[in-house]
Structure formats: structure tokens, C-alpha cells
Amino acid sequence: MSDGIPEGLIKPEFERRYRELLGEEYDILLSFMARKPIPSIRLNPMKVDPDWLVARLEESGWVLEPIPWYEYGYRVRKGPERLGNTEWHQLGLYYVQEAASMIPPVVLSPNPGERVLDLAASPGSKTTQLSEMMRHEGVLVANDVTPDRVDALIANIQRMGSINVVVTLSDGRRAHQFFGEEKFDKVLLDAPCSSLGEVRRSWGALARWSPKSVNKIARLQLSLAKAAYRVLKKGGVMVYSTCTLEPKENEWVVYNLLKLGAVLEEPQLEGLRWRPGLERWMDWEFGSELRKTMRIYPQDNDTIGFFVALLRKPT
């Protein structure tokens, strides 16, 4: 065992890369990867008075701790064993969502009345959060690529009562063909990834990890990111995010968007500890602009790992 992680899951190349990336903090990263994350929920202010629901949950014996970066987010220090089995959950009064997963919608900051696209939307945690932040005003298009994923997306949208959401089934890499060029005020691409940030939930990501698999998924991510940028209006903003720590899936993708003319903006989130993105990695020189992206390590806020970049398309 290595810090609670089963022997054989940590491959030599993984250790080499992440020791180079984190130095003395590498062992701290492993110790957090070996711990289960703290459960958390996101209240639905469009269905219930959040203060009323917090009071009812606490009366029932729940111990809740506010998440600083989202006003309706709470860690559940004590509660039922399965948060998804309560009547409050079935009624769509809250969504079981990891605390770091709430960050990309907050960074995108959609407004009521805007036209917004969630390009890889299933299972719907960020879609429903965006819808609530929009106060159900405007249009939010939630897209995914396979019928099974769209089924899960629709189920959560219906449960949460997200009435301004339109669901589409299409290959996000051809979004400009499906939706047209420069159609959206804001775009979220929470891209499919190698999921290293999710190791706290499951060892599967470590078992599947390899440089070859990272390179393969990075090509998909870049295709999706370029498509997301094409459907973004001039002057609009997009968020590119992943739940992985891999530079090839994160800074490399954003660096290639900058080549298209995208401009990075530095997010401002109260109560969140994050590290600037990498200026260089292995043979790549990304440049100082990448410091405006957010690397969120599990040990920084006791969450899963995440990467978030906020980009604007110039007018």
C-alpha cells in the first residue's frame, strides 16, 4: 500500500510526472487521493427557500458546512448514508454534487436572459446549476453525444425543474454545424477527461491512466474546445474545465485556444484556494498567460482535483 492506494495502481511514469510537478507535495497529493471526499449538496433556490431547507435538514440531524465559493453549496459533515435516497433529493430540492464541481458554473457566471451552451452536459449537475443561476430566464442548451448520457441528463433536468433548458443530442466537435457560428453569449465545456481528480471516488482513473490514453483524450478535448469557441459570440466568454490534473489535457488545450485569438481572464472566487496554471511542462512552453488558469489540487480545499480556465472571444 502507498498512502492507502493499492499497490500496482501507481505506475512509474505517473510517479515521475507528479513528483516533478509537485515536488515534496507529491506524497500529500497521494494521501488525499486515498481519502474519500466529503459529501456535498447544492440547494435548488428555484424550488425551495434555501434557509428553510437548511433548517429542516439540521432539525433532522444533518450537520452542514457552507461552501464558500457557492452560496447554495454545503458540505454534509453528518447526514444520511445515501444522500440520493431522501425525499428532498427526489423532489429536486437539492443535487448531490462535489464541491469543486460547482466552480465552473460560478466562474462562467451566466445571467438571466442570456443564451448559454453546456456542450458536454451529462449527467446535468452543472447544467441544472447554470439554469438556477439564470433564474430560469433565457435559454440554456444542454448537449451530449450518446442517447444513454442524454437520458441521464434529461432525468436530472426534470427532477430539478430546470424549465429553460433545451436538450440536444449531437457530437460536440461539430457544434458549429449543429448550432451555427457565434450563437451563444456563454459556453461551458466541462470536457471528458482522464478523471485523475476523481481518484478520491474511485481507483479506476489510476488504473486506466497512461501517457497514451492522456494524449488520445487531449485530442478529443481540443476538438471540443475549438468547436465551443466557434459557437461563442464575439465578446462572449467560455469556461473550459476538467476534473484531471494532466497538463496535456489542461494547459495544452487552453494554449491552443489562445492561438485562435482567445484571451484568458483570471477568475475571482472568494474562499477558494487555487494555484496558477503551468507556464511550461516537459517540452512545451505555454507562456505566462497560462498562470491565469486555475489548478485546484485535492489538498488545497479538501475536494476532488479540478482545472478551470476562463476565456473571452475578442470583439
Dist. CA 307–CA 190, nearest whole Å: 10
Which backbone phi and psi does 36 adopt, to 5 degrees? -70, 140
Known catalytic residue at 243 = yes
| Residue among 169, 180, 116 at smallest CA distance from 145 | 169
Q: Which of 243, 278, 304, 311 is catalytic?
A: 243
Dist. CA 205–CA 22, nearest whole Å: 19
Dist. CA 237–CA 188, nearest whole Å: 9
Residues in the chain: 315
Dist. CA 167–CA 123, nearest whole Å: 12
**CA dihedral (147, 87, 137, 257) positive or negative:** negative
Helix, strand, or coil (residue 264): strand
Helix (H) or strand (E) run with residue 213 in it = helix 211-231
Q: How many CB atoms lie within 10 A of CB 14?
A: 15
- Each residue of 270-300: b (16+ CB within 10 Å) or e? eebebeebbeebeeeebeeebbbbbbbbbbb
Dist. CA 279–CA 83, nearest whole Å: 40
**At which residue does the C-alpha cell 474546445 appear?**
225
Dmax (CA) for the chain in angstroms is 56
**Which residue numbers are catalytic?**
243
